[in-house]
Amino acid sequence: MSLQSEAALENGLIATLQKMNYEYVHIEDEKALSANFKKQLEKHNKKRLEELGRTEFTESEFERILIHLEGGTRFEKAKKLRDPHAFELESGERIWVEFFNRTHWCQNEFQVANQITVEGGKKCRYDVTLLINGLPLVQIELKRRGVELKQAYNQIQRYHKTSLHGLFDYIQLFVISNGVNTRYFANNPNSGYKFTFNWTDAANVPFNDLEKFATVFFDKCTLGKIIGKYIVLHDSEKCMMVLRPYQFYAVEKILDRVENSNDNGYIWHTTGAGKTLTSFKAAQLVSELDDVDKVMFIVDRHDLDTQTQAEYEAFEPGAVDSTDNTDELVRRLHSNSSKIIITTIQKLNAAVTKRWYSSRIEEIRHSRIVMIFDECHRSHFGECHKNIVKFFDNTQMFGFTGTPIFVENAVDGHTTKEIFGNCLHKYLIKDAIADENVLGFLVEYYHGSEDVDNADQDRMTEIAKFILNNFNKSTFDGDFDALFAVQSVPMLIRYYKIFKSLNPKLELERYLHTLPTAAKTMT
């Protein structure tokens, strides 16, 4: 493969974007950036200005807009981008100025510029900048083919220290590419390279090539949607988080179901795939739909109820209401201010089966309620689920699971599909390993007779010998690198005694704090 220069990559990307109806604009420096921003802001707010008999802002009015935008931290600026602001014009009239249309994200003004020079601690030239309504919201750093992609990431980290300021603080996303590998990430300088992501299709196939990535990711409606809906302003960390593609597709599938049908569905995402963030964004966006009365996020234990509430609060304080008891759940269901409710399936079951509670929520049993179940492979297949479905007759149910139940592993005959309908999106362990979201693993199979007695003393002794003989070569530093699973505590104690008899010098006692209390007592 011939090596392609940065200039060739840059020109090719700009040509692709122009074909996608981006307007190319030549911007030399920050002064030109500000002048272009004024024109684009006036264009985006044209109707609001015309209602006041105006077509533009005066220089003094625009200066006050800049002062408003340039104050605050990067996190506070991300909020300003998303919130219209009221300004008083020189005439004394007030106008609500919108910087970014979050509701109709395609209805923004998209431009592309390159080689903008910025003075800071060091003069810098940015490769390609995407402007939305005149604000630089996406910065693209390119390296020629053959150069390690992390060099582009490191370049952006240097920009953070030397030149990213002013309107460039409004950058929401960075994209890095060497032509054959392309990744994106949120403007969060403290997150590290591991939080850069490939964009994929709905089947988790990555778009590594820059042109293919650009055609999909930089589609104006897609990019506007990602910035408007799929960047989370993490309040407790005061930073921006962007969803990964599988999270994006899962939420989009749920939204499509709610908006266009009454069907249920489930999301099959492996453990470690960021289910909490996905479910939060799904609950948040579903709750914004006009014809949805309530969104309920349902867990199956009180500790998960508390944990999920804390995690949701970290994303956006006040976004959800939790319920300490069934009586409070009933009150929340009646409240017009509680649109997203976190509760346990046990509390919800009590609310619909005990007359004292069910009579108080009788009037909302026909309301449109969307229920999102956490770990839907657990207790939602029993009587609780049946009772909830029987009481609420206008509800849609969506489940999240890393281990769906199929016919072959159904204990009580109920499968995930039977309860929740079709799988809407999959992100499996193989996908997570390929993305390096979770650690890979090596499986070694040892085949023997299937008709064995696991409690046979000789068999247990042979297993213990095998472990002792292979432990050092199969683990790293010999410290908490392996999990030994047995079927009961009594068998665990027997293995303990066998290990000690085979090697009295084994310091098994140092690991006893990891054992169940019963095991410690029996030893």
- Are 24 and 109 contained in the same domain? yes
Q: DSSP of 264-297, one letter per residue?
A: -EEEEE-TTS-HHHHHHHHHHHHHTSTT--EEEE
pLDDT, position 172: 98
Q: Please provide the distance, in angstroms rounded to a whole number, between the alpha carbons at the two ends of the chain.
A: 65
Task: Return the structure tokens found at 511.
Answer: 């690991």
> Over 60: is that where the pLDDT of 106 sits?
yes
The answer to whether residue 173 sits within a structural domain is yes
Q: What is the pLDDT of residues 242-267, one digit of tens each?
A: 999 999 999 999 999 999 999 999 99
Distance CA 256, CA 424 (A): 10
The pTM assigned to this predicted structure is 0.86
Same domain, 48 and 141: yes
- Domain membership flag for residue 450: no
Query: How many Å separate Cα 255 from the centre of its chain?
Result: 15
CA 473 vs CA 58, 284, 381, 468, 469: distances in Å: 74, 49, 43, 10, 9
Count: domains in the chain:
3
Q: How many CB atoms lie within 10 A of CB 82?
A: 16
Higher pLDDT, 319 or 404: 404
Phi, psi values for residue 326, rounded to 5°: -65, -35
Closest residue by Cα to residue 168 from 59, 272, 78: 78
Q: Select from 381, 403, 434 the last residue of a domain.
A: 434
pLDDT at 336 over 50: yes
Would you say residue 41 has pLDDT above 50? yes
| CATH classification of the domain holding 278 | 3.40.50.300
Spacing of C-alpha 58 from chain mean position: 41
Return d(Cα 270, Cα 277) in angstroms, integer.
14
Residue 153 in domain: yes
The verdict on 150 and 60 lying in the same domain is yes
Domain presence at residue 440: no
Return the pLDDT at 325. 86
C-alpha distances in Å from residue 417, one per residue of 349, 397, 405 = 21, 12, 8
pLDDT greater at residue 269 or residue 319: 269
Say which range, 173-182, 409-418, 438-447, has the weakest mean pLDDT.
438-447
Which of 378, 326, 334 is closest to 355 using CA atoms? 326
pLDDT value for 4: 73
Q: pLDDT-based confidence at 8, cuts 50/70/90?
A: very high
Percentage above 90 pLDDT, the chain: 61
* pLDDT band (50, 70, 90) for residue 505: confident
Mean residue pLDDT of the chain comes to 88
**113 is a domain residue:** yes
Is residue 195 located within the same domain as residue 291? no
Give residue 11's pLDDT: 96
Contact 419, 405 (CB under 8 A): no
- Stretch 122-134: mean pLDDT, rounded? 94
What per-residue confidence (pLDDT) applies to 478?
Answer: 57
Quick check: 499 pLDDT over 90? no
| Contact of 116 with 27, CB cutoff 8 Å | yes
Two tokens, residue 8: 């060739």
Q: Is the pLDDT of residue 322 over 50?
A: yes
Strand 85-88 with 94-97, pairing: antiparallel
443 assigned to some structural domain: no
Task: Choose among 140, 129, 156: nearest CA to 27.
Answer: 129
Domain end marker among 240, 265, 282: 240
- Checking if the pLDDT of 457 tops 60, the result is yes
Return the closest-CA partner of residue 514 out of 487, 492, 494: 492
Q: Which domain holds residue 32?
A: 6-240
Query: Is-contact 130 25, C-beta < 8 A?
Result: no
Highest mean pLDDT: which range of 82-96, 111-125, 507-521: 82-96
pLDDT of residue 444: 74
Q: Tell me, yes or no, whether 67 and 120 share the same domain.
A: yes
Element (DSSP H or E) covering residue 502: helix 489-502
**Tens of pLDDT along 212-222?**
999 999 999 99
> Of 10, 18, 226, nearest to 116 (Cα)?
10
The whole-number pLDDT of residue 455 equals: 78
- CATH code where residue 53 lies: 3.90.1570.50
Ranking 218-222, 250-254, 420-424, 477-481 by mean pLDDT, the lowest is 477-481
Residue 25 has what DSSP assignment? Answer: -
Residue 426, classed as helix, strand or coil, is strand
Domain boundary (434, 467, 486) is at 434
β-bridge mates for residue 117, sequence order: 125
pLDDT of residue 240: 94
139 and 185 fall within a common domain: yes
Are 101 and 39 in the same domain?
Answer: yes
User: Do residues 306 and 317 lie in contact, with contact meaning Cβ atoms separated by under 8 Å?
Assistant: no
Is residue 419 over pLDDT 80? yes
- Res 408: pLDDT: 77
Q: Which residues contact 1 (CB under 8 A, 6 or more apart)?
A: 145
Position 469 pLDDT exceeds 90 = no
Residue 22 confidence (pLDDT): 98
Question: What is the side-by-side order of every strand in the sheet holding 340-344?
Answer: 321-322, 340-344, 294-299, 369-373, 395-401, 265-269, 423-427
Same domain for 66 and 86, yes or no, is yes
Which residues face 373 on adjacent strands? 298, 399
Per-residue pLDDT averaged across 485-507, rounded?
Answer: 84
35 and 114 in a single domain? The answer is yes
CA dihedral 27, 32, 35, 37 (to 10 degrees): 50
- Choose the most confident range, by mean pLDDT, from 14-23, 160-169, 475-484: 14-23
Other residues' Cβ atoms within 10 Å of the Cβ of residue 454? 11
Do 84 and 211 belong to one domain? yes
Q: For residue 4, give the DSSP letter.
A: P
Whether residue 319 is contained in a domain is answered as yes
Distance CA 506, CA 512 (A): 12
Burial of 451 (0-12, 13-18, 19+ CB in 10 A): exposed
pLDDT the model gives residue 514: 54
Same domain membership, residue 275 and residue 198: no
Position 1 confidence tier, pLDDT thresholds 50, 70, 90: very low
Which tens digit of pLDDT belongs to each residue from 43-93?
Answer: 999 999 999 999 999 999 999 999 999 999 999 999 999 999 999 999 999
Find the range with the poorest average confidence among 357-371, 449-463, 486-500: 449-463
Q: Taking 50 as the threshold, does the pLDDT of residue 288 lie above it?
A: yes
The pLDDT value recorded for residue 283 is 93
Residue 97 scores a pLDDT above 80: yes
Is the same domain home to 324 and 176? no
pLDDT at 305 over 70: no
Three-state secondary structure of 392-423: CCCEEEEEEECCCCCHHHCCCCCCHHHHHCCE
pLDDT(315) > 50: yes
Asked if residue 368 belongs to a domain, the reply is yes
56 backbone dihedrals φ, ψ, rounded to 5°: -155, 170
